Structure 1
Amino acid sequence: MSHWFLKASLPALVLLLCACSRDPQKAKQQYLESGQRYARKGDHKSAIIQFQNALRYDRQSVDVLHHLSESYLANRQPREAYAALMQAVAIDPNRVDVRLNLGQLYLGARDFKKAEEQANFVIQHDPKNATGHQILGAAMAAQNNHPKAVEAFEKAAQLAPQEASSFINLGLSLNAAGKRAEAELNFRKAVDLDPRSVPAHLALGEFLARTGQLESAEQALQKGIDANPEATGLYLAKADLLAAQSKTEALDALAATLRQRVRKPETALALGDFFARRDQRERAIQEYRRGLELAPQHSELKARLVEQHLAAGKVEEAERWNAEILRDNPKDVQAGITRGRILLAQGKRDEAINELRQQVTRARDSAQAHHFLGLAYVRNLQAAQAKASFQEAMRLDPGFLPARQSLAELQMSLGELAAAREVAEGSVRTFPDNAAARSLLATVLLRERNFTAAREHLSAARSLAPQDPAVLVMLGVSHAAERRWAEAEREFESALKLNPRYSPALAELAGLWVLNGQPAKAIARLQAHVAANPEDADTYLTLGSVYRQTRDYARAQAAFERVVQLAPRNMQARLQLASVLQEQGHLDQAIEQFEYSLKLEPRSSSLHALLGTARLKKGDAEAARQHFEQGLALDPSSAVLANNLAVTMAEQGGNLDAALALAQKARQLAPDLVNAADTLGWIHYQKGLYNSALPLLEEAVRKAPESATYNYHLGMALIAAGQKERGRTHLETALRLKLDAKDAARAREALGKAR
């Protein structure tokens, strides 16, 4: 049977191929129509293949290129769409539909001048083309030319009086021009024209909310929900409004209604995102899991779960969900990037960098891959490579703001404030209406202590993103920096009114109260918050810090232990816990915390410094020396490590010349570091160079007169130099300041001999 089939079918196949070769136009048309069918079904990958097949038979077909560009756009391939459109324009410069698509593409790429050019070309060739006027209006609005935008949208409304979108855009432009009454009329007209238009109801609701008409905004959005009971966006807009007014019961009821009416994974995704934005991580996770019950293979829901678990410090859970995504699609670049981030969170920096390099190789045009590789380099103390990665991400996608933020933050950490300001100012020039860009520039200006300019940009950011508590917190910080306590407190409270779970605002507010001598008020507020939110690790961390500042070490320890329980990889909590344990004399437990932290961050020179210091206090000088050496190998420019290693070597009776070289290096790296002056002076004393030792030891005592150790060192050097009376004074001061037992015995012996 199979042989007969082959014999019968091969000639037919040959005839089909021959027919196609004889009539290429018919073949092109068949592929074109097939591609259109796939596009109508939403299968744009298959549509692209069919349109490309059609082009094999007619490379000059503008129709095919036009459809191909639309499928590229739908498949999120803007570069390929642009190439197809430019090829179509080169073939037929007067095709209006191609010019319209090109104008819309320029709008999406934020190249508003070129979008304006395309719109004007369309209008010149077809003055009654409403879409051309819409594109022109959008380009004008983006360039803050509101009168021209209003003019263009008014023309579009005249040409398409039954299109709700014409009046929505006109309303937006009138509002931007300050004509609020006219704007509201146009939003309402859009709703009247098309009661089922979700954008119309959203535009009206947002306008009413922004103008303080909250009850009317709720009613407008509810009217939209009644007309569109499955429009998730309307529910979420009303949810935002209810959350801003702290109407918790109404919000919960609305969410329940949405779940009941729209049982789709996309709705669970959107509702989960709503709770995630409001830092309600557990509720977000519940929604994503609910979505997976409806669609167990939904990779986007799994990706959201990965992000939430990563944010919570639950790296193992994040790894489990990400592994599921990769199991279903091993070549998923996004999941590969996330695998690199997970490795980084696990402290496996070299493995993370290798993984992210692989993803960059697989997706060289991915700004996100380059960005996360840059973040891995930052963690690995490779600043030059990090800068190069961030800059490449910016080159690939000038609109990818996270890369700009990371580059500016790195530059600030390196003290390169002018370079950071240049990056931030470029972001504002590119995105003048982006709140995050404004906040980035404000951050740099705050570092430069230019508080007035910072607040100007933050005020603009607040207008652009009125529901973002982070902007209000930054405003509060700017006031606090100038000791304007009342204004700072007001901004922090306003941020918490927007989002009661926003831990940075609560941390700043508590810090403000502690600074103003009100620690009890801060503790009461923080205790109330963690009682209502027992899973909030960030606020437990703040509470522990306040307890520590008030020397309530037992409660501080309990708070930090709770953070470690909730987020085992929270380095800040472990370091704070170790410090509190040290302050209580529990050195062994403190060392355990430092060692666990070092496993998480094996390339941290700071952790080696802390561990070395703890080991030294415990009397294990050899282990301390090893940690100082390892830390200095990781960061040769660390004055603290060079100084500590010099001290350890000198105290162990090691090579004093080597110790002296290290102490001189520390002094050179940090000339104002009082420890470095004392260490260098003490080593000079041990080498019998008393005249070299005295100025350094006197400097240390002058800067820290209450230090028992510094007074002891100076006293011993003065006696050795023959200045016995001054020497006795400093040794007696050292003993009064509770010198440690070993040095106290030496001081008393020296005093006895000097009498």
Structure 2
Amino acid sequence: MKRSHRLLDQHRRTVQPWLRTAVIAMFGLLMMAAVGCHSDPNIKKRMYLESGNRFSAQGKYKEAAIQYANALKIDKSFAEAHYQLAKAFLKLDRMNSAYTELARTIDLQPDNYPARIDLAGLLLRAGRTDEAKSQADSIVAADPNNPDAHALISGIAFRQGDRGMALSEIHRALELDPRRPAFYEQSALLKSADAADATSIESELRNAVSLDPNSAGPRLLLAAFMVKGSRWREAEQTAREAIAADPKSLVARTALAQIYLRQGDQVNAELVLRQAAKDLSEDPAGVRVLADYFDRTGQNAKARVEFEALASSTPAM
């Protein structure tokens, strides 16, 4: 019995060091592989890109822009990172930076049609209509059934005063992609100059709402259409639905207040803005929306009270 124990101890003394050595070696190889992966520039740049994409999905566009820029420090010709950085800049309203990144994206990927669409949209906003049209025409020449390109040409035609062509092109976009709420909104806005199209306008705005139920935008356009027809109760309800769809939308809150003001109802307008200031306390514009309203409308005593309350609630630097 004792002899068997001695043999077992010898076996342990022989085998266990070998096992320890093997385990250490195995983990060493795994660590080297992990370090190797992280030092591979192609893997590292994609890690930054994916991190940026996660931030973008959460609406954290500043953080996303930093990660895309990190990817570009590794590879200045990383077209996907340039495009994602451009889109983050668009969200941050940094239009000059977005333009630069979109132009670089197109240099690297001439067939990146979404980037061309975005660039043309910036050019159109800047009044550079001919350059925007050149981008749109090049997309349609290569991809005649691109709905975004037809929607873009519609916007260009409207800017040039050709309402007929604008309507024709947005209808073509809708034929190609009838599930895009923005196309219905654009069509409704193009028709809004003609009172005879009221039924069609409302139908298209309701289509936009049904296709984008979690957005305030389509509902606010529908509410504005109702205001135009003095359909006050419906407009109020639709604006409230816009707030419910996007509780953080300051635009929706101020739109509802404006509906009340258009009816001469300052009491309810003030209640809406007071609630907005309370609910949107993390938004610098939201927290002072009531004070700004009092200041704009010459209610100086109320404005002073609100601004003093804001000052007292702001931590000293």
* TM-score bracket for this pair, using the shorter chain length: 0.7 to 0.9
Contact 1:164–1:197 (Cα < 8 Å) also in 2: no
Change beyond 3 A, Cα 1:259–1:96:
same
Aligned partner of 2:238 among 210, 220, 223: 220
Find the residue that maps to 1:176 and give its secondary structure: coil
Q: Which has the higher contact order (CA 8 A, sep 6+)?
A: 2
Q: Residue 187 in 1 paired to residue 234 in 2?
A: no
Q: In the alignment, which residue of structure 2 is the partner of 1:166?
A: 183
Displacement after TM superposition at 1:195 (Å): 4.2
Equivalent residues, number: 283
* Structure 1 position 208 matched with structure 2 position 238: no
2: CA distance, partners of 1:226 / 1:19 = 49
State the 1:230 CA deviation: 5.3
Letter in 2 for 1:50: Q
Query: Contact 1:201 / 1:220 at 8 angstroms: preserved in 2?
Result: yes
Assess if the C-alpha contact under 8 Å between 1:130 and 1:155 holds in 2: yes
- 1:280, distance to aligned residue in structure 2 (A): 3.2
Cα deviations across residues 44-69 of structure 1 (Å, max 9, x unaligned)? Answer: 44443433332343332211211122
For 2:25, the equivalent position in structure 1 comes to none
Residue 89 (structure 1) aligns with? 106
Residue among 257, 265, 286 paired with 1:239: 257
Moved over 6 A (4+): none
Q: Distance in 1 between matches of 2:137 and 2:240?
A: 39
Question: Alpha carbons of 1:186 and 1:38: their partners in 2 closer, same or farther (altered >3 Å)?
Answer: closer
Q: Which amino acid aligns with 1:155?
A: R
Q: Is the 8 A contact 2:273 2:289 kept in 1?
A: no
Structure 2 residue matching 1:246: 3-state secondary structure: coil
Q: What is the aligned counterpart of 1:254 among 267, 272, 281? A: 272
- Cα 1:273–1:110 change in 2 (3 A) is farther
Contact 2:270 2:290 in 1 (8 A): no
* Aligned ranges 1:529-544 → 2 under 5 Å: none
Deviations for 1:61-110, whole angstroms, at most 9, x for unmatched residues? 21121112223333443223222222222222111122122123223323
Does the alignment pair 1:156 with 2:173?
yes
Give runs of aligned pairs for residues 320-469 of structure 1, distance below 5 A: none
Instruction: Tell me, yes or no, if structure 1 residue 70 matches structure 2 residue 70.
Output: no
Q: 1:154 to 1:109 in 2, by over 3 A?
A: same
Over the aligned positions, Cα root-mean-square deviation in angstroms equals: 3.4
Q: Using the alignment, how far apart are the partners of 1:247 and 1:125 within structure 2?
A: 54
Match of 2:13 in 1: none
Q: Secondary structure at 1:33's aligned position in 2?
A: helix
Matched, 1:198 2:227: no
Letter in 2 for 1:268: V
Distance apart, 1:171 and its partner CA: 0.5
Distance (whole Å) between structure 1 residues aligned to residue 39 and residue 249 of structure 2: 51
Q: 1:269 aligns with which of 252, 277, 288?
A: 288
Give, in angstroms, the shift of residue 289 of structure 1: 5.6
1:122 match: 139
Is 2:42 the counterpart of 1:25? yes
Matching residue of 1:144: 161
- 8 Å contact 1:69–1:84 — kept in the other structure? yes
Gaps of 5+ in 1: 1-14, 298-323, 329-755
Q: 1:291 to 1:24 in 2, by over 3 A?
A: same
Q: 1:264 to 1:139 in 2, by over 3 A?
A: farther
Alpha-carbon shift at residue 226 of structure 1 (Å): 5.4
* Paired position in structure 2 for 1:106: 123
SS at match of 1:59: coil
Contact 2:276 2:289 in 1 (8 A): no
**Aligned-pair CA distance for 1:179:** 4.7
CA contact (8 A) 1:236 1:274 kept: no
1:228 is displaced (CA, Å) by 5.2
Contact 1:232/1:258 (8 A) holds in 2: yes
Q: 1:151 to 1:87 in 2, by over 3 A?
A: same
* 2:77 alignment partner AA: Q
Structure ID, larger Rg:
1
Read off the aligned partner of 2:268 and give its amino acid letter: A
User: By how many angstroms is 1:203 displaced?
Assistant: 0.8
How far apart are residue 258 of structure 1 and its match? 4.2
**C-alpha separation in 2, matches of 1:37 and 1:196:** 20
Change in CA separation of 1:271 and 1:125 when aligned onto 2, cut-off 3 Å: farther
Residue identity matched to 1:51: Y
Following superposition, the deviation at residue 149 of structure 1 comes to: 1.9
Percent identity over the alignment is 26
Residue type of the alignment partner of 2:42: Q
Partners of 1:254 and 1:185 lie apart in 2 by 28
Query: Partners of 1:25 and 1:288 in 2: how far apart?
Result: 52
Are positions 1:79 and 2:109 aligned together?
Answer: no
Aligned runs of 1:285-296 on 2, under 5 Å?
285-287=304-306, 296=314
Aligned residue in 2 for 1:278 = 297
8 Å Cα contact 2:132/2:156 also seen in 1: yes
Residue 60 of structure 1 corresponds to which residue in structure 2?
77
**1:110-162 Cα shifts (integer Å, max 9, x gaps):** 32332233233333333443333333323333333222222222223333333
Residue type of the alignment partner of 1:243: L
Q: Could you tell me whether the CA contact under 8 Å between 2:82 and 2:101 is conserved in 1?
A: yes
| Contact 1:69-1:80 within 8 A present in 2 as well | yes
Change (3 A) 1:214 1:25: same
For 1:23 and 1:126, locate their aligned partners in 2 and report how far apart those are by CA, in whole Å.
Answer: 37
Q: What is the Cα deviation at residue 173 of structure 1?
A: 0.6
2:53 to 32, 36, 43: 36
Which segments of 5 or more consecutive residues in structure 2 lack a partner in the other structure?
A: 1-31
| Structure 2 Cα separation of the partners of residues 130 and 230 of structure 1 | 31
Question: d(CA) in 2 for partners of 1:291 and 1:128?
Answer: 53
Q: For residue 291 of structure 1, report the CA deviation from its aligned partner.
A: 5.7
Measured against aligned partners, the alpha-carbon deviations of 1:465-508 in whole angstroms (never above 9, x if no partner) come to xxxxxxxxxxxxxxxxxxxxxxxxxxxxxxxxxxxxxxxxxxxx
Change over 3 Å in CA distance of 1:144–1:27 after alignment to 2: same
> How many Å separate the matches in 2 of 1:57 and 1:252?
52
